[in-house]
C-alpha cells in the first residue's frame, strides 16, 4: 500500500512539474512575441520620423542628395525587412549609420542645427532610440531566460518533448572596428 502511495505521489509530482514547466514555456513564448511586437512598434515610430527629418535637412542642405538618398534607402530597407532578429538588426544598423551621417552633415549647416523643427525631430528620434533600447533589453532578457530553460536539465526534457526551442537575440550594434572609425561625410 505504501509503495502504491509513493508511486502515485511521484507520478503526481512529475505531472505537476511537467504542467508547470510547460506553462512557463508558453508564458515565455508569449512574452517573447510581445517584446518583439514592442520593438516593432518603436521601430515604426522611428521610420515615421525619418521622412520629416530628411525633408527638414533637404530645406537647408538640398545639394547633399547622396546622404539624403542613403537615409531614405536605408529606411525603406529596414521597413521592408520582416525577417529574423539578426536580419532586422542588419537593416537597423544600416539605418542607424545613415542617420549618423545625416546628423554629421547637419554640423556643417549652423542654420539647420538651430532650426527648432530639426531640434524637435532630433529629440524625438533620441527618445525613440531609448525606447528601442529598453524594448530590446526586455526582449533579450526574456530570450535569455527561455534559452537557459530550454537547455537546463530537467526542463530541457519538457522543451524537447513539446518542441519548445531557443529564440534568437536581437543584437543591434556595429562591429568594433566600424564603431572606432569617424563617420564619413562627403560634400559633393
For 99-149, how does the pLDDT look when each residue is reduced to its tens digit (9 = 90+)?
988 888 778 888 877 788 888 888 999 999 999 999 999 999 999 999 999
186 within domain boundaries: no
- Between CA 70 and CA 94 the distance in angstroms is 9
Cα separations in angstroms, 144 against 28, 125, 150 = 10, 28, 10
Residue 81 pLDDT more than 50? yes
**Residue 52: all three cell numbers together:** 520629416
pLDDT band at 63 (very low <50, low <70, confident <90, very high): low
Structural domain boundaries, residue 38: 2-180
- Between CA 5 and CA 3 the distance in angstroms is 5
Identify the helix (H) or strand (E) that includes residue 2: helix 2-61
- Between CA 26 and CA 162 the distance in angstroms is 10
How many domains does the structure of the chain reveal?
A: 1
Say what the pLDDT of residue 13 is. Answer: 95
Say what the pLDDT of residue 156 is. Answer: 95
108 within domain boundaries: yes
Question: What SS3 class is residue 162?
Answer: coil
Say what the pLDDT of residue 24 is. Answer: 96
Amino acid at each position: 500500500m505504501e509503495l502504491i502511495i509513493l508511486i502515485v505521489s511521484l507520478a503526481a509530482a512529475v505531472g505537476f512539474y511537467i504542467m508547470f514547466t510547460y506553462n512557463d514555456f508558453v508564458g515565455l513564448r508569449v512574452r517573447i512575441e510581445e517584446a518583439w511586437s514592442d520593438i516593432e512598434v518603436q521601430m515604426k515610430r522611428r521610420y515615421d520620423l525619418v521622412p520629416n527629418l530628411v525633408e527638414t535637412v533637404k530645406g537647408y542642405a538640398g545639394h547633399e542628395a547622396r546622404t539624403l538618398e542613403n537615409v531614405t534607402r536605408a529606411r525603406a530597407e529596414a521597413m521592408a525587412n520582416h525577417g529574423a532578429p539578426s536580419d532586422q538588426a542588419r537593416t537597423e544598423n544600416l539605418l542607424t549609420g545613415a542617420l549618423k551621417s545625416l546628423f554629421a552633415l547637419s554640423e556643417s549647416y549652423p542654420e539647420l542645427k538651430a532650426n527648432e523643427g530639426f531640434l524637435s525631430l532630433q529629440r524625438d528620434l533620441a527618445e525613440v532610440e531609448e525606447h528601442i533600447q529598453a524594448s530590446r533589453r526586455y526582449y533579450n532578457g526574456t530570450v535569455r531566460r527561455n534559452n537557459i530553460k530550454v537547455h537546463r536539465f530537467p526542463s530541457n526534457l519538457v522543451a524537447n518533448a513539446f518542441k519548445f526551442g531557443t529564440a534568437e537575440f536581437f543584437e543591434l550594434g556595429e562591429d568594433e572596428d566600424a564603431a572606432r572609425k569617424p563617420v564619413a561625410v562627403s560634400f559633393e
